[in-house]
């Protein structure tokens, strides 16, 4: 994710991203809105709990993966929904996309699938 969008999430959700082991967002800019909504829902649900921190955010098999220091059934459901949604949103631009692949899976729109 671009440095500007990364900083927006870090500034907006400082408690979630207070883990010193967090390496950043290993995914494209197109999933920014999904991540923003997910972090907002988790933050509202937990009321900025100081002991809940993001461990890792990445793309794997064409979908978002979001790992927390702990989660309950409600948070697990939020994460599962965000991961599902990422399979239908272009990781590059945020347009509707499809998971495509051969040896490497990516979720991209038609334009980015063709490398334009």
Q: Please state, in angstroms and rounded to a whole number, the distance separating the CA atoms of residues 37 and 103.
A: 31
Q: Is the pLDDT score of 108 beyond 60? A: yes
pLDDT of residue 47: 81
Convert the pLDDT of each residue in 32-86 to its tens digit.
999 999 999 999 999 867 788 999 999 999 999 999 998 999 999 999 999 999 9
Average pLDDT value for residue range 17-37: 94
Residue 116: pLDDT band by 50, 70, 90 thresholds?
Answer: low
pLDDT of residue 48: 61
For residues 49 and 101, the model is more confident at 101
Strands 54-60 vs 63-68: parallel, antiparallel or unpaired: antiparallel
Phi, psi for residue 75 in degrees, rounded to 5 = -65, -40
Rounded to the nearest integer, the mean pLDDT of the chain is 93
93 DSSP assignment: T
User: DSSP string covering 27-52, please?
Assistant: S-GGGHHHHHHHHHHHHHHHTS-TT-
């Amino acid at each position: 994710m671009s440095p500007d969008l990364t900083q927006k999430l870090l500034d907006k959700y400082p408690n979630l991203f207070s883990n010193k082991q967090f390496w950043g967002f290993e995914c494209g800019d197109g999933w920014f809105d999904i991540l923003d909504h997910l972090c907002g829902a988790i933050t509202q649900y937990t009321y900025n709990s100081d002991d809940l921190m993001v461990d890792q955010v990445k793309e794997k098999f064409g979908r978002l993966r979001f790992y927390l220091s702990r989660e309950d059934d409600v948070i697990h459901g939020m994460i599962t929904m965000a991961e599902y949604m990422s399979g239908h949103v272009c990781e590059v631009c945020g347009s509707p996309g499809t998971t495509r692949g051969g040896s490497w899976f990516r979720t991209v729109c038609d334009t980015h699938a063709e490398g334009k």
